[in-house]
Chain A
Amino acid sequence: MLEKNPYRILKAEVLEVTAETPTIKTIRFKPEQPVPFRTGQFIELTIPGVGESPFTPSSKPSINDVLEVSVMKVGKVTEKVHQLKKGDEIGVRGPFGNGYPLDEFKGKEVLVVGGGCGFAPLRSLMYSLFELSGQFKKLCFRGGCKAPSEFLYRKEIEGWAKRPDLNLELTVDKGDESWKGHVGLVTTILDSAQMDYKNGIAILCGPPIMMKFGAKKIMEMGFQEKNLFLSMEKNMSCGIGKCGHCRLGTYYCCKDGPVFRYDQIKNLSEIWD
Chain B
Amino acid sequence: MGKSFILKDADFTGFLDKLSFDFDVFFPVKNGSQRFFKKFVNANDHPVVGEVRPFEPLKAFFSRAREFVAENFSAEPPKINHKPYAIVGVKACDLKGFQIQDFVFKNNGLEDPFYIHNREKNLIIGADCTCAIDTCFCIALGIKPYPHRDFDLNLSTVPGGYVVEEGSEKGKALLEKYPSLFKNAAESELRAKEEQRAKTTRAVEENLKKFQVPTEDKFQGIIERNFASKIWEEEAKTCVECGACTNICPTCHCFFLYDQKDDKKMARLRVWDSCMIKDYARVAGGANPRKRLWMRLRNRFEKKFDFFPKVLKVYACTGCGRCISACPAKIDIRKVLKRLVANA
In the complex the two chains form, is B110's CB within 8 Å of A242's CB? yes
- How many residues in A have their beta carbons less than 8 Å from beta carbons of B? 46
Q: Which residues of the partner chain A approach B74 to less than 8 Å between Cβ atoms?
A: 8
In the assembled complex, the Cα of A213 lies from the Cα of B114 at a distance in Å of 43
Q: Mark B195-227, 1 if CB is under 8 A from A, else 0.
A: 000000000000000000000000000000001
Q: Which residues of the partner chain A approach B259 to less than 8 Å between Cβ atoms?
A: 46, 48-52
Decide yes or no whether B280 CB sits under 8 A from chain A. yes
Interface residues of A in 242-258 (CB under 8 A from B): 242-247, 249-250, 255
Q: Which residues of the partner chain B approach A242 to less than 8 Å between Cβ atoms?
A: 104-105, 110, 112, 253, 255
In the assembled complex, the Cα of A234 lies from the Cα of B116 at a distance in Å of 27
**A-B contacts, CB under 8 A, total:** 125
Decide yes or no whether A88 CB sits under 8 A from chain B. no
Decide yes or no whether B273 CB sits under 8 A from chain A. yes
- Nearest opposing residue in chain B for A10, CB measure: B73
In the complex the two chains form, is A250's CB within 8 Å of B310's CB? yes
In the complex the two chains form, is B310's CB within 8 Å of A208's CB? no
Known: A2-B113, A269-B227. A250 touches B311 (CB 8 A): yes
In the assembled complex, the Cα of A52 lies from the Cα of B290 at a distance in Å of 22
In the complex the two chains form, is B73's CB within 8 Å of A91's CB? yes
In the complex the two chains form, is A233's CB within 8 Å of B273's CB? no
Shortest CB–CB separation between residue B240 and chain A, in angstroms? 21
In the complex the two chains form, is A2's CB within 8 Å of B283's CB? no
In the assembled complex, the Cα of A242 lies from the Cα of B102 at a distance in Å of 11
Decide yes or no whether A270 CB sits under 8 A from chain B. yes
In the assembled complex, the Cα of A273 lies from the Cα of B114 at a distance in Å of 33
Decide yes or no whether B289 CB sits under 8 A from chain A. yes
Q: Name B's interface SS.
A: loop
Which of B256, B275, B291 has a CB less than 8 Å from the CB of A237?
Answer: B256
Q: Mark B124-151, 1 if CB is under 8 A from A, else 0.
A: 0000000000000000000000000000
Q: Which residues of the partner chain A approach B260 to less than 8 Å between Cβ atoms?
A: 49
Q: Mark B76-91, 1 if CB is under 8 A from A, else 0.
A: 1100000000000000
In the assembled complex, the Cα of A49 lies from the Cα of B261 at a distance in Å of 5
In the assembled complex, the Cα of A59 lies from the Cα of B341 at a distance in Å of 51
Decide yes or no whether B288 CB sits under 8 A from chain A. yes
Decide yes or no whether B330 CB sits under 8 A from chain A. no
Interface residues of B in 226-275 (CB under 8 A from A): 227, 253-261, 266, 268, 270, 273, 275
- Nearest opposing residue in chain A for B265, CB measure: A49
Interface residues of B in 276-308 (CB under 8 A from A): 280-291, 303, 307
Q: Mark A67-103, 1 if CB is under 8 A from B, else 0.
A: 0000010111110000000000001000000000000
Decide yes or no whether B117 CB sits under 8 A from chain A. yes
Q: Which residues of the partner chain A approach B311 to less than 8 Å between Cβ atoms?
A: 250
Q: Which residues of the partner chain B approach A247 to less than 8 Å between Cβ atoms?
A: 281, 303, 307
Interface residues of A in 171-189 (CB under 8 A from B): none
Which of A9, A74, A245 has a CB less than 8 Å from the CB of B268?
Answer: A9
Which of B105, B112, B114, B286: most chain A CB closer than 10 A? B112
Decide yes or no whether A6 CB sits under 8 A from chain B. yes
Q: Which residues of the partner chain B approach A51 to less than 8 Å between Cβ atoms?
A: 257-259
In the complex the two chains form, is A52's CB within 8 Å of B257's CB? yes
Q: Which residues of the partner chain A approach B268 to less than 8 Å between Cβ atoms?
A: 7, 9
Known: A72-B285, A74-B286. A240 touches B112 (CB 8 A): yes
Known: A9-B268, A233-B283. A4 touches B113 (CB 8 A): yes
In the complex the two chains form, is B253's CB within 8 Å of A270's CB? no
Decide yes or no whether B69 CB sits under 8 A from chain A. yes
- How many residues in B have their beta carbons less than 8 Å from beta carbons of A? 49
In the complex the two chains form, is B254's CB within 8 Å of A244's CB? yes
Which of B108, B116, B286 has a CB less than 8 Å from the CB of A255?
Answer: B108
Decide yes or no whether A11 CB sits under 8 A from chain B. yes
Known: A7-B70, A245-B254. A75 touches B284 (CB 8 A): yes
Known: A75-B284, A235-B283. A2 touches B117 (CB 8 A): yes
In the assembled complex, the Cα of A155 lies from the Cα of B117 at a distance in Å of 52
- Nearest opposing residue in chain A for B252, CB measure: A244
Known: A6-B112, A255-B108, A270-B290. A235 touches B281 (CB 8 A): yes
- Nearest opposing residue in chain B for A271, CB measure: B289
Decide yes or no whether B194 CB sits under 8 A from chain A. no
Q: Which residues of the partner chain A approach B253 to less than 8 Å between Cβ atoms?
A: 242, 244
Decide yes or no whether A194 CB sits under 8 A from chain B. no
Which of A5, A48, A77, A238 has a CB less than 8 Å from the CB of B261?
Answer: A48
- Nearest opposing residue in chain A for B228, CB measure: A269
Q: Mark A1-44, 1 if CB is under 8 A from B, else 0.
A: 01111111111000000000000000000001000000000000
In the assembled complex, the Cα of A240 lies from the Cα of B286 at a distance in Å of 23
Q: Which residues of the partner chain B approach A208 to less than 8 Å between Cβ atoms?
A: 287
In the complex the two chains form, is B289's CB within 8 Å of A7's CB? no
In the complex the two chains form, is B110's CB within 8 Å of A6's CB? yes
In the complex the two chains form, is A5's CB within 8 Å of B285's CB? no
Known: A5-B75, A247-B307. A238 touches B257 (CB 8 A): yes
Sample of 20 A–B contacts (CB below 8 Å): A4-B113, A5-B69, A8-B75, A8-B77, A9-B70, A9-B268, A49-B260, A49-B266, A50-B261, A52-B259, A75-B285, A208-B287, A241-B110, A242-B110, A243-B256, A244-B303, A245-B254, A246-B281, A247-B303, A270-B289
